[in-house]
Amino acid sequence: MQITDFNPNIVAFCCNWCSYAGADLAGTSRLQYPVQVRIIKVPCSCRVDPLFILRAFQRGADGVAVCGCHPGDCHYATGNYYTRRRMALLHNMLDFMGIERDRMLLQWVSAAEGAKFAKTMTDFVENIHMLGKNTRLADWRVVNAGNNETES
Amino acid sequence: MLEIMKQRAKELLESGRVVRVLGWQRGDFPNLREPVFFTTAKQLDNLEYDRFCAANLSKYLIGTDVPTLAFLKPCDTYSLNQLVKERQINRQMTYIIGIGCEGSAKLTDMEENGTLERCLVCTKTVHAAFDELIGEDAAPREKNDRFAGVGEIEAMEIAARYTFWQDHLARCIRCNACRNICPVCHCKKCVFDNTKYDTAQRANASAFEEQMFHIIRAYHVAGRCTDCGECNRACPQAIPLHLLNRKLISDINHMFGEYQAGTDTETPGPLTNFDIEMDKEVGL
Ligand code: SF4
Ligand code: SF4
C-alpha cells in the first residue's frame, strides 16, 4: 500500500459541554477540518473508558483523540482532572507495549475554540498520516471484513 | 510456629470469637497448599504453614459476614487493607493473625532456591494490619530493585518492546487465572465476562484480544494493585505480568508521588484523587 492511498480513520471522543460544542462552532464557522474525523459525544472526558479507546483501535481507527473542557472548566467541576491522570498512564502503557504514543491524543478544547478544534484535528490527522496505518492494535479480521481496504 | 497457630486458632474457635478459620492445607500435589476454611478444632489439625503457602488469603474474605480468623503474611495484609478501603471486606468480621514470612516458594520447586520473584524484591515485610502477631517478620529485601525489569523494557526500541510483549502475550490462553486470583479484581461482573462487549472468554481470538485483555487487566487495577504478585504466580504460561503492573506503579510513583496501595484504609488512591499543583509540575 502506498502512503498516498492511506486514508486514516480518526475517532474523536468529545465531551458534551466544551469540545463537542467547539466542534459545532468549527462547523458553523465553516472552518475546514479533515473529514476522516468521526466524533463521538460523551458526557465528560472522564467517561472515556480506556476500553473505548482500545476498541476504536481494534475496529480500525488509526488515531484516537480525547477532547474535554479545559482543566478548571469541567461541567462537572473535576472530571477532567481525573481524565488527565488516567490518560497519562494509558499513554505510557501503550508506549511501554510498543504502540506509538502519538496515535492517542488528549486535548482540551472549549466551546469557544472552534478554530482550535479544527487545527487540533488537522494536525492530528497529519501526524497519523506520518505514522501510517495502525497495524499494531488492529484486529485484522474485523478491519479486512469491514471495508475494502486490504492490507498488503 | 505452626503449633502456636493451630493452638490460637482452636482457642479462638472454641471461645466463639470466630466461627471459621481461613488457612491452608495440603493439596493433591506434594507442594500444593490450598486455601481452606476450617470450622472445627479437629479440622484444624490439617492446618499447614510453610514456604509453599504462597496463596494470598485476603480475597477469600470478601463479603464475609461471619466472624472469620485469617492467617495473613505481611504482604497479604496490604491486600486486606485495600479491600477494606474499597468496602469489600468488613474488618469487624475478621480477626487477623499476622504470621511471619521468609519468602514463599514456587509450587514446582523442591529446592531451597525456588523463591518467588515477588519475594526477592519484597518491600512489604511488615504487617500493615493485624489483631495479633505470631512469628518474626523477615528483614526487608529491598536491595533488589523491583523496577529493574521495567527499566530494561523502557530502554528498548519501540519495535523491540512490541515484539517483546507480542512474544509473551501470544502464549496467553485466556484462562483468566490472573484476573480471578487478584485480590483487588473483585467486580461482580467483569468486563471480560460481558457478552455485550464480545470480550468474554476469547482464547487467542486475535493478537489484539491478548493485548487488550492485558492492558485492561493491568489498567483496571492501576493505583489499587498492591504488587502482591499473585497474578504472576498463578499464570500457567509464565507471562511476566508483574512488569505491566509495575510499569503502572512506577509511573504513578513518578507522576503522582510515591504510593503503595494498601498501606492504610483511608488514603484516596492516586486515580481517585488529584492534586492540581502536583499535576501541573509533571506537565499534565
Ligand atoms: S500483583 Fe497482580 S494479583 Fe496482586 S494486586 Fe497486583 S494485579 Fe492483583
Ligand atoms: S493467567 Fe496467564 S495464561 Fe491465564 S489469562 Fe492470565 S496471562 Fe493469560
Cα distance between residue B13 and residue B5, in whole Å: 12
The answer to whether residue A78 neighbours chain B at the CB level (below 8 Å) is: yes
Among all bound ligands, the one having the nearest atom to the CA of B173 is: 2
Q: B140 lies in a domain?
A: no
Q: For residue A90, what pLDDT is reported?
A: 93
Q: For residue B11, what pLDDT is reported?
A: 93
Q: B281 lies in a domain?
A: no
Amino acid occupying residue B50 = D
Cα distance between residue A127 and residue A120, in whole Å: 11
Q: Is the pLDDT of residue A52 over 50?
A: yes
CB contact under 8 A, A139 and B211: no
Residues 6 or more apart in contact with residue B51 via CB below 8 angstroms: B102, B103, B104, B105, B115
Q: Whose CA is nearest to atom 7 of ligand 1?
A: B225
Host H or E run for residue A63: strand A63-68
C-alpha neighbours within 13 Å on the C-beta side of residue B189: 5
Please check whether residue A133 is in contact with residue A103, taking contact to mean a CB–CB distance below 8 angstroms: no
Cα distance between residue B163 and residue B156, in whole Å: 11
Alpha-carbon A24 to chain mean position: 16
Contact pairs from chain A to chain B, CB under 8 Å:
90
Greater confidence (B11 vs A140) lies with B11
Give residue-wise pLDDT tens across range A80-125: 899 999 999 999 999 999 989 899 999 999 999 999 999 999 999 9
Residue identified by cell 488514603 is B267
Q: For residue A150, what pLDDT is reported?
A: 40
> Between A81, A89, A137, which is nearest B222 by CB?
A89
Q: B282 lies in a domain?
A: no
Question: What ipTM does this complex have?
Answer: 0.84
DSSP characters over B129-191: S-SEEESPPPPP-TTS-TTHHHHHHHTS-HHHHHHHHHHHHTT-----HHHHH-TT---SS-G
- Are residues B118 and B241 both part of a single domain? no
Q: pTM for the full model?
A: 0.88
Q: B71 lies in a domain?
A: yes
- Are residues B114 and B171 both part of a single domain? no
Q: Quote the number of domains for chain B.
A: 2
Q: B87 lies in a domain?
A: yes
Residue B66 Cα to ligand 1 middle (Å): 26
Last residue of a domain, one of B134, B156, B174: B134
Cα distance between residue B259 and residue B267, in whole Å: 10
Please check whether residue A84 is in contact with residue A74, taking contact to mean a CB–CB distance below 8 angstroms: no
Q: B104 lies in a domain?
A: yes
Q: For residue B267, what pLDDT is reported?
A: 87
Cα distance between residue A102 and residue A91, in whole Å: 9
Q: For residue A117, what pLDDT is reported?
A: 94
Pocket of ligand 1 (CB under 6 A): B 181-184, 221, 225-231, 245
Q: For residue B110, what pLDDT is reported?
A: 56
Q: Which residue of B has its CA nearest to A101?
A: B158
CB atoms near residue B56 (< 10 Å): 25
Q: For residue B272, what pLDDT is reported?
A: 87
Q: What is the strand order of the sheet B94-99 is part of?
A: B33-38, B20-26, B68-72, B94-99, B132-134
DSSP characters over B236-264: TT---HHHHHHHHHHHHHHHH----TTS-
Q: Whose CA is nearest to atom 5 of ligand 1?
A: B225
Q: For residue A143, what pLDDT is reported?
A: 54
Q: For residue B195, what pLDDT is reported?
A: 67
CB contact under 8 A, A85 and B163: no
Give residue-wise pLDDT tens across range A16-48: 999 999 999 999 999 999 999 999 999 999 999
Cα distance between residue A63 and residue B251, in whole Å: 23
- Are residues B102 and B159 both part of a single domain? no
- Are residues B11 and B48 both part of a single domain? yes
* Rg of chain A, C-alpha, whole Å: 15
Question: Band of the pLDDT at A149, cuts 50, 70, 90?
Answer: very low
- Are residues B45 and B116 both part of a single domain? yes
Directed axis angle between helix B207-220 and helix B241-256, to 10°?
50
Please check whether residue A80 is in contact with residue A68, taking contact to mean a CB–CB distance below 8 angstroms: yes
Q: B65 lies in a domain?
A: yes
SS3 A20: helix
CB atoms near residue A118 (< 10 Å): 23
Q: For residue A151, what pLDDT is reported?
A: 40
Range of the domain at B204: 148-276
Domains of chain A, residue spans: 3-144
Which atom of ligand 1 is nearest the CA belonging to B178?
3
Q: pLDDT tens, position by position, for chain B (284 residues)?
A: 899 999 999 999 999 999 999 999 998 888 889 999 999 999 999 999 988 898 999 999 999 999 999 999 999 999 999 999 999 999 999 999 999 888 888 776 555 557 888 888 888 888 999 999 998 776 656 567 889 889 999 999 999 999 899 888 888 888 889 999 999 999 988 888 776 665 555 555 566 677 788 899 999 999 999 999 999 989 988 899 999 999 999 999 998 988 999 999 888 889 888 888 888 877 77
Domain A3-144 has CATH 1.10.600: no
Cα distance between residue B117 and residue B229, in whole Å: 8
